[in-house]
Each structure stands twice: as structure tokens, then as C-alpha cells.
Amino acid sequence: MYLSREEDGILQGDQGETLRRMMEILVALGDIYGAERLVPVRSAQIAGVSFKNIGEAGLEWISDLQGHVAVPSILNPAGMDLERWKEMGIDEDFAARQREVVRAYERLGVTADCTCTPYQIHPDLVRRGDHLAWSESSAVSYANSVLGARTNREGGPSALAAALVGKTPLYGYHLDENRRPTHIIAVDADLKGSDYGALGFLAGRIVKDGVPLFRLRGRPEQDDLKALGAAMAASGSVALYFVEGLTPYPASGSSSQRNDRGNEKSNQWINKNIDKKIEREAAEKIALENKDIDEVYERYPPGDSEMVALGCPHCSRAELERIAALLDGRKARRELWVCTARRIAEASPDLVSRIERSGAKVICDTCMVVSPASERFRKMLVNSGKALSYIPGLCGVEAGFASTEDCISMAEED
Ligand code: F3S
């Protein structure tokens, strides 16, 4: 990979040991994936925060680093609500280690908003056409697909390396040639709410690491797109998708190598008269209908779920409003978590108290998958295709899938 004189100096240790090690990570990645050079990033979103996932070795690795991030950088969810961890049943030891992890990142200048939806609270972290180094798979999918930015699915160390150096290797989804549909998925169904998570759950299993283009009947909202992309990133490893008539698409023949700050001009909106070239190039055509979506609910019934968890990815204010309205005048008799970013909860105290009046908990900084607190339950009911994919393997807990309305009804049952 080509390095400028300054970049090569960093690799030789001119700017200290931490930056040398970070540059080594970036160069190794660039060499593996055949990147021509590095490209500046607008922001970084760093995974590897939950002490449940990184353990002592991870904490030591981060604590050892010196210096300050070169671009605005934000954290993925931690293993607990940083304030209400006791209510979650987290023990003192874990809490102490988790706080140390967050402090270690803060010392490097990373903002300690622990969320998988950074675009919901810091819109300035990403603009259309920007190159980014983001880790969390649903955030990567949203940034690439809905916001028209460019990022690979970074690991924690490579995102942190990009944050400290301010650059990432130019390969993968940074390049136009990898941002073309590989599958066209025609969906002949009326979708709403959690149906988008069910659709993503199915589509991810079919396309794996492909780039699907959806033809939908209706017009999904932003939260629907968030759920769709999150589910595909978990059941497959989809990092980019398109929705005909809705999401940005780079025009054929353009090259991202011309312009580091993104190709504003090459991002056009797909319209209903979809480019014939795309139609020819997308290798596979898939048709899904109502019965396919229904089968996801049937295959993962609520059963006797002891816990209900909403907010994967983290709830937007609009989702909190909807949940608050559904819970008004009702009692959550089972454990009910509503996960969101702390900034969203703090900006919506009215909604938080309406939700918590029912007995539900509004949980910040963490989620049902990355916190060890959910592992004490036998079965969890979710409205998210991503949580449905991850909970059995990552938490050792059985998972059921239902609409938000049905999740809340389950939480109400004795
Ligand atoms: Fe976010 Fe946790 Fe789901 S990190 S996307 S709420 S698994």
C-alpha cells in the first residue's frame, strides 16, 4: 500500500509508539485487502466496549495506548447501564472493570456515548459521501445504505486505529465497484414495524455478504430501515443494501478514487425506472411474500418468555413515543427492557417516566445482547431480527420474535 512521507514516518515511530502500532494495524489491513492507499475519515465508531466481550486482555490493550483521537469518535454499547447497573443485576466487579474500559477510551478523547445508533444523536458524525471507520454492524449498514456514507465493518482495534490516525485503508465499501447490488429482492407484502426485522432476518440468510436491492410495496420509515439493515448484518453479513426509490446509489462508471471527501455527484437516488444495467448485473433475483414473513414469527413463537427486550438497535425518540403510548395504563409484570442511547433518554424525560410507570426499565449505554445481565433468563422475547439472530449464540438464551404490540402484551402477562 502506498504511504505518504508523513504516513511512513508514523509507521517508523516518528510520532510515538501508539501511533506506530495503530499505523501497523492499518497497513496490515490495507495489504491484506489490496488497498492502494489510506483515505481520511470523518469519524470513527468503536466496538470492543463491553467488558463481557473484551475481558481483561482487551482492557489492558486499550489502557496501554497513549495520545488523542484525530477525528470525532464514539463508542459502541457497554456491558451495563453506566448509572443504573445495580438495577440490572450487574455485580460490583464487572461494573468496576466496565468503568475502567470506558475511562480508558475517554483518556484517548473518545466520546463516551455508548450506542449503536450514533447517527441518531450526533448527525455531524456522518454526511453523505463521507468515508468513515465504524464498527457496529447495524450502524455500518445504516451509514452505508441510508446515509450514503462509506465504511467497512471495522473490528474494534482497526476502528480505534483509524480514530487515532484519522485514516483508514481504501478498499471494500469505500470503492464504487463494491457498492453495486448483487441480488434483487422483490417483496410482495405489506410490511410494518417488526416485519422489517423479519425481512432482514430472511434476506441476510439468503444473500450472506451480498448487496441486496429491495423492491418494496410501501415506503419504510427510518426506523424500519434501521431494523432491516441490523437484521441482515446479523443473520448474514450485509453491510450495504438499497431500497429502490429511497436510498442513495452511486451512478455506474463513477470511481470513488477520484475524490476523498465522497462523490456527492455520483450519489443519485434510485428511482422507479431502475437502471437496466443494475438489473442485468445483479446476479440473483429473489421473491418474498407475506407468508415468508409470517413464517419467521411462527418459527420463533413467544412461548413463555421471562424477559422482553425492545430497542435493538437502540430506540429513537419516535420508537420511545410508540412504546410509551402502548404501555400507557398497563403494568409490565415480566422484566421489560427498553434500550436506547443515554442522550435520547435524557432528552425525553417525559417518555422515560411514562414507560417506567408501567414497571418497564429504560436501559441506556448497553443492550440485551452485550450485557451479561440478560444471561440469567431462560427465554427472551424481542421485536428485532438482529437480536433474534444473536441472543441464542451470544447470551445462551432462547429467543422468541413478535411485534412490538405482542412483546408488550407478553410483558403484561402474569
Ligand atoms: Fe445495538 Fe445491541 Fe442490537 S449493540 S444493534 S442493541 S445487539
Quick: pLDDT tens for 166-190.
999 999 999 999 999 999 999 999 9
Q: How many whole angstroms separate alpha carbon 229 and alpha carbon 140? A: 9
Q: 337: left (phi > 0), else alpha (psi -120 to 50), else beta? A: beta
Nearest atom in ligand 1 to 313's CA: 5
Inform me whether the pLDDT recorded for 263 exceeds 70.
Answer: no
Inform me whether the pLDDT recorded for 267 exceeds 80.
Answer: no
Residues 142 and 32 in one domain: yes
CB-ligand 1 contact for 167 (6 Å cutoff): no
CB-ligand 1 contact for 230 (6 Å cutoff): yes
Q: Which of 142, 158, 176 is the last residue of a domain?
A: 176
Q: Which of helix, strand or coil describes residue 75?
A: strand
Question: In the predicted model, what is the mean pLDDT of residues 67-81?
Answer: 98
CB-ligand 1 contact for 339 (6 Å cutoff): yes
pLDDT in tens, 195-232: 999 999 999 999 999 999 999 999 999 999 999 999 99
Question: In the predicted model, what is the mean pLDDT of residues 41-48?
Answer: 98
Inform me whether the pLDDT recorded for 255 exceeds 70.
Answer: no
Domain for residue 257, yes or no? no
Q: Of all residues in the chain, what percent carry a pLDDT higher than 90?
A: 91
Q: How confident is the model at residue 275 (pLDDT cuts 50, 70, 90)?
A: low
Backbone φ and ψ of 148, nearest 5° = 70, 25
Residues 244 and 340 in one domain: no
Inform me whether the pLDDT recorded for 257 exceeds 50.
Answer: no
Q: How many whole angstroms separate alpha carbon 99 and alpha carbon 188? A: 48
Read off the pTM: 0.94
Q: Beta strands of 189-306 (E only): which ranges?
A: 212-215, 242-243, 248-250, 267-269, 284-289
CB-ligand 1 contact for 49 (6 Å cutoff): no
Dihedral angle computed from the Cα positions of residues 29, 33, 34 and 35, in that order, rounded to the nearest 10 degrees: -60
Which CATH number do you get for residue 220?
3.40.1060
Q: Whose Cα sits closest to atom 2 in ligand 1?
A: 367
Residue 408: closest CA among 344, 372, 355? 355
DSSP 53-122: HHHHHHHHHHHT--S--SS-EEEPP-SS-TTTTTTTT--HHHHHHHHHHHHHHHHTT-EEEE-S-HHHH-
Please state, rounded to an integer, the average pLDDT across all residues of the chain.
93
Q: Whose Cα sits closest to atom 4 in ligand 1?
A: 116
Q: Which of 274, 295, 316 is the last residue of a domain?
A: 295
User: 316: which DSSP letter?
Assistant: P
Q: How much is the pLDDT for 282? A: 66
Q: How much is the pLDDT for 33? A: 98
Q: How much is the pLDDT for 264? A: 42
Q: Whose Cα sits closest to atom 5 in ligand 1?
A: 313
Q: How much is the pLDDT for 254? A: 36
Which CATH number do you get for residue 91?
3.30.499
CB-ligand 1 contact for 52 (6 Å cutoff): no
CB-ligand 1 contact for 388 (6 Å cutoff): no
Nearest atom in ligand 1 to 369's CA: 7
Question: In the predicted model, what is the mean pLDDT of residues 375-392?
Answer: 98
Q: How much is the pLDDT for 250? A: 60
**Centre of ligand 1 from the C-alpha of residue 18, in Å:** 30
Exposure letters 21-40 (e unless 16+ CB within 10 A, then b) = bbbebbbebbeeeebebbbe
Domain for residue 235, yes or no? yes
Which CATH number do you get for residue 404?
3.30.499.10
Residues 232 and 93 in one domain: no
Residues 9 and 149 in one domain: yes
Inform me whether the pLDDT recorded for 11 exceeds 80.
Answer: yes
pLDDT in tens, 324-378: 999 999 999 999 999 999 999 999 999 999 999 999 999 999 999 999 999 999 9
Q: How many whole angstroms separate alpha carbon 368 and alpha carbon 336? A: 11
**Centre of ligand 1 from the C-alpha of residue 258, in Å:** 35
Residues 162 and 21 in one domain: yes
β-pair partners for 248:
269
In testing the pocket of ligand 1, which one of 365, 370, 382, 391 has its CB within 8 Å of the most ligand atoms?
370
CB-ligand 1 contact for 369 (6 Å cutoff): yes
Q: How much is the pLDDT for 279? A: 73
Residues 200 and 156 in one domain: no
Domain for residue 386, yes or no? yes
Q: Which of helix, strand or coil describes residue 337?
A: strand
Residues 148 and 222 in one domain: no
Q: How confident is the model at residue 146 (pLDDT cuts 50, 70, 90)?
A: very high
Residues 150 and 75 in one domain: yes
Q: Which of 159, 176, 193 is the last residue of a domain?
A: 176
Residues 28 and 109 in one domain: yes
pLDDT in tens, 22-31: 999 999 999 9
Domain for residue 388, yes or no? yes
CB-ligand 1 contact for 141 (6 Å cutoff): no
Residue 244: closest CA among 304, 195, 184? 184
Pick the most confident of 278-282, 283-287, 340-344.
Answer: 340-344
Q: Which of helix, strand or coil describes residue 271?
A: coil
CB-ligand 1 contact for 46 (6 Å cutoff): no
Domain for residue 49, yes or no? yes
Residues 235 and 275 in one domain: yes
Residues 222 and 319 in one domain: no
Domain for residue 206, yes or no? yes
Q: Whose Cα sits closest to atom 7 in ligand 1?
A: 369
Nearest atom in ligand 1 to 230's CA: 5
Q: Whose Cα sits closest to atom 1 in ligand 1?
A: 313
Domain for residue 102, yes or no? yes
Q: How many domains does the chain contain in total?
A: 3
CB-ligand 1 contact for 312 (6 Å cutoff): yes
Inform me whether the pLDDT recorded for 256 exceeds 80.
Answer: no
Q: Residue 401: give the domain boundaries.
A: 300-412
Question: In the predicted model, what is the mean pLDDT of residues 110-138?
Answer: 97
Q: Which residue has the higher pLDDT, 84 or 277?
A: 84
Domain for residue 256, yes or no? no
Residue 60: closest CA among 69, 44, 68, 48? 48
Residues 129 and 219 in one domain: no
CB-ligand 1 contact for 151 (6 Å cutoff): no
What does the block give as the cell for 168?
Answer: 483508514
